[in-house]
Amino acid sequence: MGMALSAFARTKGRIYDETFRVPGGAVCLDFCNSGQAMRDSRGIEWIPGYYDLVDWLDAAEAVPHAQAMRLRRAARGSPGAATAAWKRAIVLRETLFRVFDAAARCEAAARADLDHIATTYAATLAYGRLEWSDNGYAWRLDPETTSLLAVLQPIVGSAVELMTSEKLSRLRRCGSATCHWLFLDETRNCSRRWCEMASCGNLAKVRRHREKGRARQAD
């Protein structure tokens, strides 16, 4: 799935390659990870508007491509409402990040954040419908809806599904203090520490090697 998303990203010429470079294991976690550059010293928003949000959901296969096209057309007709929906999505993203970050530390989230997720989930129920999949029924976005706020449904739906499942015990945050990447640890012995070894993992190894070198010099 990661390779397919990366190919889509290259055709879009956007920064989605970075967003999906290390899939988190759930749509809601991938969405949380799209805020990485806003939370560090760069202060760059990877999803800077409603059209970008729809593009992201399209790339994540969280909405059908034809529906994404309809949502873009609806946004052109109501730019103010589209901006408002995008702002709600970004607020939801940061709320979800705080909740999942706390869960990764086995801590309870703030009541206000949980209430915000519950309120958003309830508000998006009208945009969902029950659908059969290989593993049973699932509550998914109605592929026919063109409501601008429908973009919230696959995100908050994924979040509530994860929060109420056993998979939450496998939720991790990258071991780097400067990385905000969240992921589900699917290793057999639950030993994954880094978003990926090629980046944060190797940086940590280099840092430990330098610290040992300085310690030997000090002796």
- Domain map (residue ranges) of the chain: 2-218
Is residue 61 classed exposed, middle or buried when 0-12, 13-18 and 19+ CB atoms within 10 A define those classes? middle
What mean pLDDT, rounded, does the chain reach? 85
Q: Can you point out the beta strands (E) in 166-205?
A: 171-173, 182-184
Using CB atoms within 10 A of its CB, is residue 112 exposed (0-12), middle (13-18) or buried (19+)? exposed
**pLDDT confidence band for 19 (50 / 70 / 90):** confident
Strand 182-184 to strand 128-133: parallel, antiparallel, or no bridges (unpaired)?
A: unpaired
CB atoms within 10 A of CB 15: 17
pLDDT > 70? residue 212: no
Measure the CA–CA gap between 124 and 128, rounded to whole angstroms.
7
Task: Please report the pLDDT score of residue 199 as a whole number.
Answer: 63
**Range name among 1-10, 75-84, 159-168 with the lowest pLDDT average:** 1-10
Confidence of residue 13 (pLDDT cuts 50, 70, 90): very low
Q: What is the CATH number of domain 2-218?
A: 1.10.3300.10
Element (DSSP H or E) covering residue 130: strand 128-133
**pLDDT at residue 166 greater than cutoff 90:** yes
Q: What is the pLDDT of residue 204?
A: 44
Is the pLDDT at 18 greater than 80? The verdict is no
Q: Compute the average pLDDT of residues 16-26.
A: 79
Q: Taking the CB of residue 11, how many other CB atoms lie within 10 A of it?
A: 9
The confidence score (pLDDT) of residue 25 equals 95
The per-residue pLDDT for 190 is 84
Which pTM was predicted?
0.84
pLDDT number for residue 20: 76
The pLDDT confidence band at residue 16, using thresholds 50, 70 and 90, is low
For 112-132, what is the mean pLDDT?
96
